[in-house]
Amino acid sequence: MITTETVVSTLKSFLKDEQVSINETIRELHSKDESYHEGQLPDVVVYPSSTKEVSDILKVANDFEIAVIPFGRGSSLEGHIVPVKKSITIDFSLMDQIIEVRPEDLLVRVQPGVTRTQLNKELKKYGLFFSVDPGADASLGGMAATNASGTTAVRYGVMRDQVRDLEVVLADGRIIHTGNLAAKSSSGYHLNGLFVGSEGTLGCFTELTLQVYGIPEFETAARAVFPTVKSAVDAVTSILQAGIPIARVELVDEQSIEQVNHYSETNYPLKPTLFLEFHGNEAGLAQDVEFTKEIMNDHGCLEIEFETDTAARNKLWDARHNLAYAFIHGYKGKKLMSTDVCVSITDLADAVLFARTELEKAGLPGGVVGHVGDGNFHALVMIDMNNAEEVERAKQFNAALVEFGLQRNGTCTGEHGVGIGKMQYQEKEHGTSLDVMKTIKLALDPKNIMNPGKLIDIKN
């Protein structure tokens, strides 16, 4: 039986004392994320400062057969970094360097602890920006691990679309690269696609080479009010079919608008509302705006307001981005549960209406929002974690939404990831393909030390 003292002593043979912690408060901070999922404290938390140190840590863990959990900012929503057994948590906060910006190639190379806000602050000097915006100021390593996306995915794609290369430390300490600097390749298996979204179950990311974009010449935002959810979604479908270069389009239901008004001190009509943003050049966008207005009106839009001023646009999007906090602030003492089903755009209106109906049946406070450009929607549900019956109702509600999505050939998670919360749906969604995933997992991590109990159920 390997003791914690033995593990700590071995780690301190190549790490500084301050890089290894068994402090209970530190361990407590690394035992939970933003979700309602619960686990246990890690046995030790380590803070590597280099790829070499990560490799050495994994060699120790592999030799001792102790679990390893990569940790970014702790903003995950499905229990990805919650320990379920004896474990070492690797906190990447010291690996937060922007290593190289290649403005002519529209590429940047970073360490995993860099946050998207930190990156965009640096990129602004070059007239560039990183597109993926999950809302939270997450670490880029964590965003790659969960294949994060967010409000801009309709125009720029998800995290997987931005990754050109990863430096990965495997379970046995080997260091590999999954890609290169080339914009395309027909050589070998697509390892970028395999590792992005693997949730720390195949290895630890120690460097990421990412695609970035030029800051748009002109941006305009809009808020459009509709009589029904269906009319709002139908309007978005028509906008996409028309080829209008929309950068963001978010649906917010009536109950969520009410929370926005309370929290952000706005006075928006309590109707299904679209928040939109367009990127491009000023002349082209003027035409797109007029075309969008025509499409909106054809679908019964009750009110539409465009904003080009930066402060006004920021206020509009702050209201949308702060929606989760608006619910948390409005229901003190309760915990937020955010669901994450994705369906085809043609099924989205029915999915949102189903979610609203089921939420009312469950008697739980909350709202429904969606990235309507790509069919991803979330129910924001407030639950009392001390009320077992209420927690169970919330779980049943979540299960009903997942079942609805899977019946329509959608997915149980559009962007939050599987973690602990969605493992039970993997076989139903993937069928025999899940066996292929397990084969890959065991080939790369035969001792199942990489974030066990997440994504794929492998029995030790």
Phi/psi for 373 (5° steps) reads: -70, -20
Written as six digits, the tokens of 289 are: 């705006």
Share of the chain above pLDDT 70, in %: 100
What digits encode the pLDDT tens for the residues 14-24?
A: 999 999 999 99
Q: How confident is the model at residue 37 (pLDDT cuts 50, 70, 90)?
A: confident
pLDDT digits (tens, 9 = 90+) for 301-326: 999 998 888 888 888 888 888 888 89
Mean pLDDT value across the chain = 94
pLDDT tier, 460 (very low <50, low <70, confident <90, very high otherwise): low
| pLDDT one-digit tens code per residue, 395-440 | 999 999 999 999 999 999 999 999 999 999 999 999 999 999 999 9
**Residue found under tokens 């499905």:** 78
The pLDDT of residue 135 = 81
Report pLDDT digits (tens) over 332-373: 989 889 999 999 988 999 999 999 999 999 999 999 998 989
Task: Note the pLDDT tens digit of each residue in 187-220.
Answer: 999 999 999 999 999 999 999 999 999 999 999 9
Looking at residue 324, its pLDDT comes to 87
- pLDDT digit string (tens) for 72-83? 999 999 999 999
Could you say which DSSP state residue 18 is in?
G
Give the type of residue at 324: A
Q: What is the pLDDT of residue 43?
A: 98
Contact 89, 44 (CB under 8 A): yes
Helix (H, G, I), strand (E, B) or coil at 33: coil
Give the other-Cβ count within 10 Å of 120's Cβ.
16
- Answer whether residue 268 shows pLDDT above 80: yes
Residue type, 145: A
Can you tell me the mean pLDDT for 142-163? 96
Average pLDDT over residues 84-94: 97
Buried b (16+ CB within 10 A) or exposed e, 83-103: bbebbbbbbbebbbebeebee
Mean pLDDT of 153-159: 95
Q: What is the CA radius of gyration of the chain?
A: 22
% residues pLDDT > 90 (the chain): 84
Strand partners, 225: 273, 303
Whether 379 contacts 110, CB under 8 Å: no
Q: Considering the entire predicted model, what is its pTM?
A: 0.94
pLDDT value for 282: 85
Region 273-295: mean pLDDT is 91
pLDDT at residue number 261:
93
pLDDT tens figures, 96-136: 999 999 999 999 999 999 999 999 999 999 999 999 998 88
pLDDT at 140: 98
pLDDT attached to residue 309? 83
pLDDT at 28: 97
Report pLDDT digits (tens) over 383-403.
999 999 999 999 999 999 999
Q: Name the one residue in this structure whose structure tokens are 């109707």.
A: 271
Encoding tokens for residue 290? 């007029």
162: its two tokens: 């931005």
Element (H, E) at 146: helix 140-146
